[in-house]
Amino acid sequence: MSQPIRKIVIAGGGTAGWMTAAALSKLMGKDLEITLVESEAIGTVGVGEATIPTLVFFHRLLGIEEPEFLAATQGTYKLGINFENWRDVGKDYLHAFGITGKDCWACGFQHFWLRARELGLAGDFGEYCLERRAAEAEKFTHLPNNGLNYAFHFDASLYAKYLRQFSECHGARRVEGKIDQVLLHHDTGNIRALKLDSGQELDGDFFIDCTGMRALLIEKALHTGFESWSHWLPCDTAVAVQTEAVAPPIPYTRSIARESGWQWRIPLQHRVGNGQVYSSSYQDDDAARQQLMGNVEGEPLTDPRLIRFQTGRRRKQWHKNCLAVGLSSGFLEPLESTSIHLIQQNIVRFLRFFPHTGIGQVEVDEFNRQADFEMERIRDFIILHYKVTERDDTEFWRYCRQMDIPDTLANKIDMFRETGHVFREGNELFVDSWQQVMIGQGLMPERYHPLVGTMSESELAGFIEHIKAEVDGDLNRLQNHSDYLVSFLSRHAGSGA
């Protein structure tokens, strides 16, 4: 007989552990006893310093004040990602968080843009997206009614410390220690307790695995299995380093394609996060480290740190009385800054399916189905960047161009190429992003919707010009990003916000 859930034990801290503790303690702390165990001796991956706009809503759900969060984490604003050398060497585009142009009931804006471009009436696709224009102009301002979609760059270690304080204020308890053993119930196979190296046992009704790639609970104890996606995403190593900031922070992440992978550059208030993601089959560690250090700005603040990973997912993210959150559930390289989004989604999804009266298999199965769907669609979006490219200058890029891809992605590419359509399936994360990246990578539709052809040239020109004028008007309302950030934080400093 399944028992009610009253005691929850979170294994591991870092971003995943403390985001979980923050949400559970804030939203359900009155009904639960929440314990988080972590060890100061165990480091965290800590490269996930760029996010997507869903984190804004997670913070609103928890009542986290933005000025306080930004000040505590040395955060800056982010409007998108600039992809450099991805389509081909010397060809760049910016994937922004906003919606490009305006759709109609029958088709997306790209159809109107395609015909207008054919007639010489339209500029670059990105000219009709406010967030892209703002990023390129290095501008930012909060607009009414969420008029500007944004996310954040921040220091991941400072974020975990901030959320720890938040969680403890809402009743979560932290225990220092290393997990020595996961103890199981002999009859059910459920987790009974975590035994620490001190000999202390932490018993619970439900356990959340935030132990990173080690996956001590969901894999080493419960053996759920792992599905590798490395044949589609061949990068398996990263080297990361922090450097001094040499210029004011810009409101976008830089992703710079290299011969055997790519480099990230993430601007914070006080420093810059840098890293190189690469395939060890095509580049050795010393060469990658040397290439990264030859392409950073500012003096290094840390020694370069090597991180090994395998892309893929746990076959079950919720199994028995254990949920995997963060890297324990699987790994997708941080190309589109989705790591923290996947953490938050598993947390929110768990709250929606929370087993108050006991764990039911129907809820577990539906949770896993939704989690699998979301991760697969994000996987497809990341693979798109590698597959749809004009680069053939190295063995790595030739492999990416020629590799087989999932049917779900192949269908999306074929649909866009042949018809110009992008259809959102279910609750997919990315919508306008597909058009932005496919066009940015050089994939142009062969035709547009016939409805667009019913517009006269003057009507189409007026439609396009009106959108451009609206974007221009909103852009003029924005301030320089760095100046706005300083004034925004100073206005709220000491306010208790």
Closest CA to 268 of 141, 157, 138, 154: 154
Buried/exposed 42-75: b ≥16 CB within 10 Å, e otherwise: eebbbbbbbbbbbbbebbeebebebbbbbbbbbb
Q: Which residue has the tokens 């930004």?
A: 70
Encode the chain in three state secondary structure: CCCCCCEEEEECCHHHHHHHHHHHHHHHCCCCEEEEEECCCCCCCCCCCECCCHHHHHHHHHCCCHHHHHHHHCCEEECEEEEEEEEECCEEEEEECCCCCCCCCCCCHHHHHHHHHHCCCCCCHHHHCHHHHHHHCCEECCCHHHCCCCEEECCHHHHHHHHHHHHHHCCCEEEECCEEEEEECCCCCCEEEEEECCCCEEECCEEEECCHHHCCCCCCCCCCCEEECCCCCCCCEEEEEEEECCCCCCCCEEEEEECCEEEEEEECCCEEEEEEEECCCCCCHHHHHHHHHCCCCCCECCCCEEEECCCEEECCCEECCEEECHHHHEECCHHHCCHHHHHHHHHHHHHHCCCCCCCCHHHHHHHHHHHHHHHHHHHHHHHHHHHCCCCCCCHHHHHHHHCCCCHHHHHHHHHHHHHCCCCCCCCCCCCHHHHHHHHHCCCCCCCCCHHHHHCCHHHHHHHHHHHHHHHHHHHHCCEEHHHHHHHHHHHHCCCCC
User: Is 78 labeled as catalytic in the residue annotation?
Assistant: yes
Q: Of the residues 7, 26, 30, 78, which is catalytic?
A: 78
CA angle 254, 257, 259 (to 5 degrees): 155
For residues 184 and 190, the answer to whether their CB atoms sit within 8 Å is yes
Distance CA 234, CA 440 (A): 22
Q: Which residues pair with 151 in a beta bridge?
A: 78
Positions marked catalytic: 78
